[in-house]
Every structure is written in C-alpha cells, then in structure tokens.
Amino acid sequence: MNATSPAWVDALTATLVVTGAITALIGSFGLLRVKTFFQRVHPPSLVATVGTWGVTLGTVVQSSFVTARPYLHAVLIPIFIALTAPVTTTLLTRAALFRARQRGASDVPPPPASTNNPAV
Amino acid sequence: MSPLLTWALLFAIGCLTVAMMFALIRMVVGPRAEDRVLAFDCLYLDTMLVIVTLGLLYRSSSYFEAALLIALFGFVASSAMAKFLARGEIIE
C-alpha cells in the first residue's frame, strides 16, 4: 500500500464526498422542514441516492489509488440501498395511507370502489 | 493524505452529524408513528454515510462491512416497523 495518492485523486475524492455529505444534509433538513407526511417522504430519497453514491464513489476512487487495484466492492452499498429504499418507502406510505383512512382523515383519497382491501 | 482531503472529510462528517441531528429532531417531534419510522430510515442512512467516511479518513477497509450491515439491518427494521403499522403484527 503506498501512502500517497496524486493531488487530482484527492481533489476528486474531496469533491465527491463533500457533494454527497451536503446533499444528505439538505435531504435531512427537508425531512425536518416539510409540512405533511406524504410530502415528507420525498426529501430522504436525496440521502439514499446522491448522498450514498457520492460518498461511496469517493471511497472507490481513493481506495483504488491507495491499494493500487480496483476497489469496486464498496459499490455494493449504494446498489443495495437502491434496491431497498423504494421497498421501505412504499411499505411505509401504504401503512400511513391505511392509518389515515382508519383515522377518518379528509385529505387522503378514498379507497377505489372495486376492492375491499383498505390498504390499497 | 493531503490536508485538503483531511479537512474535506472532517467537513463531510460534520455535515452528516448535523443531518443526523435533524433526523433525530424529527424522530422526537413526531407527530405520528409513521413520521418516526421515516426519521429512523433517514437516520440510519446518515449513520452509514458517517461510517463510510470514517473508513476513508482512517484508511481501513473494516468499516465497509459495518456500513453494509447497518444498511441491511436498517432495511429489515424499517420494513418490519412499516408492516407493524399497517397490520398490527409482523409475522402473521
């Protein structure tokens, strides 16, 4: 392992990681700021996409130069997040819609007439 | 490692810590259970990014497994909590 990496590699890594971290900060601030739950589902997807990809690609670039071979298995993390984050969001939004209908909230659409399942 | 990269990684860790604090405030404030589960979802993603950045800062590859495990268990936990909110039980 050589301890030094070229200056442009350090600059590229810093750009990617700082972009990902600032995007994650914006996404989490949106989670705090946005008013209703069904709007609040959207900002954390910034963390799951640009945040995760930025930080992980920075790791891939830096570690590939430090260890002098392709360090690609860090890409497993954003691929796994890209597979699981939509599943979690869909399950949670279905549950929230079901609970809003159980509560008798007036700002959610009624269930379609063709089904008996209140969670659809 | 150049000082630029060290300071950039420290700045990134600071940003992610503030992001974790925002998610934690949303988790405490609520107002409903689904808001808290959503805040947990955001919180474990931020934590995972902090751990990946720490692995870059200390140049150790053992942080990668920890980040992957946090992603895995976070998915299991938040989908189980969403299922519990929808059905009232997890395994039926």
C-alpha B5/C-alpha B9 separation (Å) is 6
Q: Cα distance from B53 to chain A (closest Cα, Å)?
A: 7
Between the alpha carbon of residue A77 and those of residues A35, A38, B55, the distances in Å are: 31, 27, 14
C-alpha A72/C-alpha A76 separation (Å) is 8
The domain locations on chain A are 7-103
Residue to test with chain A: of B4, B6, B9, most A Cβ within 10 A: B9
Answer whether A80 sits within 8 Å of B19, measured CB to CB: no
| CA pseudo-torsion sign B6, B10, B11, B16 | positive
The pLDDT assigned to A106 comes to 78
User: If you count them, how many residues does chain B have?
Assistant: 92
C-alpha B25/C-alpha B39 separation (Å) is 9
The pLDDT assigned to A115 comes to 66
Residue-wise pLDDT for B55-87, tens only, equals 999 988 889 899 999 999 999 999 999 989 888
The domain locations on chain B are 30-87
Residue of B55 and B30 predicted with greater confidence: B55
Residue-wise pLDDT for A63-97, tens only, equals 888 888 888 888 999 999 999 999 999 999 999 98
- Contacts of residue B55 in chain A, CB cutoff 8 Å? 59
User: pTM value?
Assistant: 0.88
C-alpha A78/C-alpha A84 separation (Å) is 10
Q: Is A105 on the interface with B (CB under 8 A)?
A: no
